[in-house]
Amino acid sequence: MVVLAGVSVIVFALVHLVPGDPVRLALGTRFSQETYDALRERSGLDQPLVQQFFSWLGGALTGDLGVSFRSGDTVTSLIAERLPATLTLAFASILVALAIAIPLGTISALRPRSLVDRFATVISQFGISVPDFWVAIVLILVFAGTLGWLPSGGYVPLSEDPLGWLQRLIMPAVVTGTVSGSVITRFVRSSVLEALGADHVRTAQAKGLPARQVFTWHVLRNALLPLVTVTGVQLAYLLSGVVVVEIVFSWPGLGQLALQSVQSRDYPVLQGAILLFAVVFLVINLIVDLLYTAIDPRIRR
Indicate if the pLDDT at residue 224 is higher than 90: no
Same domain, 48 and 191: no
Which structural domain range is residue 16 located in?
A: 2-61
Same domain, 130 and 163: yes
State CA 257 to chain mean position distance: 14
Q: Is the dihedral of CA 124, 125, 129, 131 positive or negative?
A: negative
Same domain, 155 and 36: no
38/48 Cα distance (integer angstroms) = 16
What backbone torsions phi and psi does residue 72 show, to the nearest 5 degrees? 85, 0
Domain presence at residue 155: yes
Cβ of 67: how many Cβ atoms within 10 Å?
21
What backbone torsions phi and psi does residue 252 show, to the nearest 5 degrees? -80, 70
Domain presence at residue 105: yes
247/153 Cα distance (integer angstroms) = 9
Same domain, 200 and 104: yes
What is the reported pLDDT for 99?
92
Same domain, 172 and 251: yes
CA dihedral 50, 257, 244, 288 (to 10 degrees): 70
What is the reported pLDDT for 26?
67
301/141 Cα distance (integer angstroms) = 54
What is the reported pLDDT for 154?
87
pLDDT digits (tens, 9 = 90+) for 82-110: 888 999 999 999 999 999 898 888 888 88
What is the reported pLDDT for 1?
66
Same domain, 253 and 126: yes
What is the reported pLDDT for 301?
57
Would residue 242 be called left, alpha or beta, if left means φ above 0 and alpha means ψ between -120 and 50 degrees? beta
Domain presence at residue 300: no
Indicate if the pLDDT at residue 28 is higher than 70: no
Higher pLDDT, 201 or 119: 119
Domain boundary among 13, 30, 61: 61
Write out the chain in H/E/C secondary structure.
Answer: CHHHHHHHHHHHHHHHHCCCCHHHHHHCCCCCHHHHHHHHHHCCCCCCHHHHHHHHHHHHHCCCCCECCCCCCEHHHHHHHHHHHHHHHHHHHHHHHHHHHHHHHHHHHHCCCCHHHHHHHHHHHHHHHCCHHHHHHHHHHHHHHHCCCCCCCCCCCCCCCHHHHHHHHHHHHHHHHHHHHHHHHHHHHHHHHHHHCCHHHHHHHHCCCCHHHHHHHHHHHHHHHHHHHHHHHHHHHHHCCCHHHHHHCCCCCHHHHHHHHHHCCCHHHHHHHHHHHHHHHHHHHHHHHHHHHHHCHHHHC
Q: Which among 258, 279, 260 has a CA at the least distance from the CA of 270?
A: 258
Domain presence at residue 73: no
What is the reported pLDDT for 95?
93
pLDDT category of residue 209 using cuts at 50, 70 and 90: confident
Higher pLDDT, 94 or 27: 94
For residue 74, list its beta bridge partners. 67
This prediction has a pTM of 0.82
Same domain, 101 and 201: yes
CATH number at residue 123: 1.10.3720.10
Domain presence at residue 263: yes
Domain total in the chain: 2
Same domain, 11 and 100: no
Domain presence at residue 228: yes
Q: What percent of the chain has pLDDT over 90?
A: 11
pLDDT digits (tens, 9 = 90+) for 140-190: 999 988 888 899 888 888 888 889 899 999 999 999 999 888 889 888 888
Domain presence at residue 249: yes
Same domain, 17 and 88: no
Same domain, 57 and 97: no
What is the reported pLDDT for 297?
66
Same domain, 232 and 286: yes
Indicate if the pLDDT at residue 7 is higher than 70: yes
Domain presence at residue 181: yes
Q: What is the mean pLDDT of the chain?
A: 82
Same domain, 21 and 142: no
What is the reported pLDDT for 141?
92
Cβ of 101: how many Cβ atoms within 10 Å?
29
